Chain A
Amino acid sequence: MTLPRSRIYALLMSAATAALLFSFVVYLIYAANLLSFPYDYDQGEGFELHDTVLYSRFQLPYGDTESYPFYGSIYPPLFHVMAAPFVWFFGPAYWYGRLLGFLGSLLSAAAIYYAVCRDGRGNRWIALLSALAFLSSNFVYHIGPLYRQHTMMVTFETLAVVVLAGAFPRRCKRGIAIGILFLICAGYTKQLAAFTALAAFAWMFLRQPGRALRCLLVFALAGAAVFLWLNIATDGQWWLQTIVANVNDIILDQAFGLLILWVKLHGLLLIPAALLIIYELYLDRLSLYSVWFVFSALLGSIAASKWGAGDSYFVTSIAAACILSGIFFSRILANDWRLPRQIGKTTMIKIANASLIIVPLLYLGYARATLKMPTAGAFAPLAAALGVEGNVREDFYDSATFFVGGYARIGYLLGADDRAAGDEITRLIVAADGPVLSEEAGFALAAGRDVVGNPAQLRNLHLAGRFDGSQLIEMIDGGEFGIIVLRAHFYPPPVLHAIARRYEQTHTIHMNGFDYMILHPKALDDGSARSVGNSG
């Protein structure tokens, strides 16, 4: 039974829609700002661009890190393969990878809309708010328009879950095959998709154990065939770079901090999601969305304790929460429950009537909890009206703030000074003789130089006892690098010690809120130091 929608419901829903649409507009502005920025924004973007460049040349990025150029990638190939054709037409550039990520987030939102519409009794308004709620999440906002593969993984995961949730109970073979294909695509975009695959097969097993096992067999055979091919083609480097190097230190405080932040920002959607799970567990059948949410939240939280992990590890669970809360709201508005007789119909009608006010208020509250916006320029009057001041930079407000370990320290808009700083670092690289060792690959790519080493990957391999680095240290000791660019000091300690011995800091350039240290070889007693780039 659908209750008549009162005017106050329509008014509040309109307000919630406007608030979440405003959040979407800020997301659009942020994406457009990033697309036009030609250097690294988030740490590691440049190395993903470099992976794409290698794929465009039909080379695999899983090389031997003991020899020049000491480069290995930690990520599976699919996202970079998708971006590779752009390199043929536009050369190495950030905009197309960022555009793919952004479009991926929109596709995830569309899948959420479709799922809530299909499984939430056709309530399109709630479905729209669920999709907008996903895009409004601070975590989604941060990583959506980055040159990172994570958003595309979430897109494939969401598509897989939405397709399987519809196809598996109907025994639609084509739908099941497409769903499994999306799962494989997610896994070969980023390893973290393993949690979604676990959830999907666990749910299929609950529904039809025999069919689930047959599907699992197909999935395992297809996934293993690609895995083996990559391992053979790279002479074992695929295993070393993507699996061994992925085992990292555990930082419990980081996981706790991110978990608390996840609850604080998304609590108003997490509670209805949890209520629907309890209802399904005891009074109905568990849906794939519920199992997906539990697996992604639980295992995502555990994985978020890993060094190098961050808020993005919760994005999958946010997609699941948006679908579950949307379905819960749709059903509560339609009073569509199968409840024990002890709970009278009158009670449920009262709850449904109250939900006409409560549901839009929850979305409004969520929009406020996830608010982020520029506070200067055209946004200044609105920021003043909302009572928010810049807390990230002077001109940007983020409700999540930056005080949690692992939280992406990004989200603000970039200005002309950031671009000028990037140009200056590139100019110094062009002016220097010899190869460049840079913690961000984008500068080397812009200067037309080799990308040498991926510091975080070398660190991981060093900690796993799989990187000796003697050849790299020998090159540093010999002053062979014309210039070194440091930001986060991610290189293994022996490499950093060698840099400190042989190089000296000549410039500090501020870009994106970070200080980039520019180092040149120290002058030796025999006066054989390499030329230092003109600092202008």
Chain B
Amino acid sequence: MVIIASARARKHFTARLMLTKLGIMEEHERGVSKRQLGAFMALVGIIGFGAILAIDVVDVGREGGIGPAQTIALALMAVCAIIGLSLIPLGDAPA
């Protein structure tokens, strides 16, 4: 059992504990894990890929199909999704 000697130290300890409980001060804050980062990147990649494809569906008046800028954006989104998916199996290791 930890004995806190002085009143000042006790008060300080209580204040830090309260702040930690409230989430305002986190003593040992956990960082984002590789799985969380991977899931986020996969989501961004998949949603972004779909959204870029959807430009042609929504904006039906467009001509020329998928242009060079769209192709690059699609490739970037695909890479983002693949990297994200490959990170998910790495679990709780910090990103």
Contact = CB atoms under 8 A, between A and B. Distances in A.
Interface string A187-215: 00000000000000000011111110000
B90 A286 contact: no
Contacts of B94: 206, 285
Contacts of A298: 76
B92 interface: no
Given A208-B31, A210-B23, A252 B68 contact: yes
Contact of A206 (B26, B83, B90, B95): B95
B46 interface: no
B31 A207 contact: yes
B31 A281 contact: no
Interface string B70-91: 0000001000000100110010
Interface in B14-37: 23, 26, 29, 31-32, 37
Nearest to B86: A282
B32 A281 contact: no
B7 interface: no
Contact of B31 (A206, A250, A252): A206
Contacts of A282: 86-87, 90
Nearest to B37: A206
A290 to B, nearest CB: 11
B32 A206 contact: yes
B68 A209 contact: no
A281 B87 contact: yes
Contact of A285 (B26, B69, B95): B95
Nearest to B73: A302
Given A206-B37, A210-B23, A252-B68, A286 B95 contact: yes
Interface residues of A, number: 14
A209 B87 contact: no
Given A206-B37, A206-B95, A285-B95, A211 B90 contact: no
A124 B29 CA distance: 34
B68 to A, nearest CB: 6
Given A282-B90, A285-B95, A209 B83 contact: no
A506 to B, nearest CB: 44
Most buried by B among A207, A211, A298: A207
Given A208-B31, A209-B29, A210-B29, A281 B69 contact: no
B38 to A, nearest CB: 10
Contacts of A208: 26, 29, 31
A253 to B, nearest CB: 9
Contacts of B86: 282
B39 to A, nearest CB: 13
Contact of B29 (A211, A250, A285): A211
B49 to A, nearest CB: 16
Contacts of A207: 31-32
Contacts of B29: 208-211
Given A281-B83, A285-B95, A209 B69 contact: no
16 contacts: A205-B32, A206-B32, A206-B94, A207-B31, A209-B29, A209-B31, A209-B32, A210-B23, A210-B29, A211-B26, A211-B29, A252-B68, A282-B86, A285-B31, A285-B94, A298-B76
Given A285-B31, A298-B76, 4 more contacts: A205-B32, A211-B26, A285-B94, A286-B95
6 A-B pairs closest in CB distance:
A208-B29, A206-B32, A207-B31, A206-B95, A210-B26, A285-B94
Interface of A: 205-211, 250, 252, 281-282, 285-286, 298
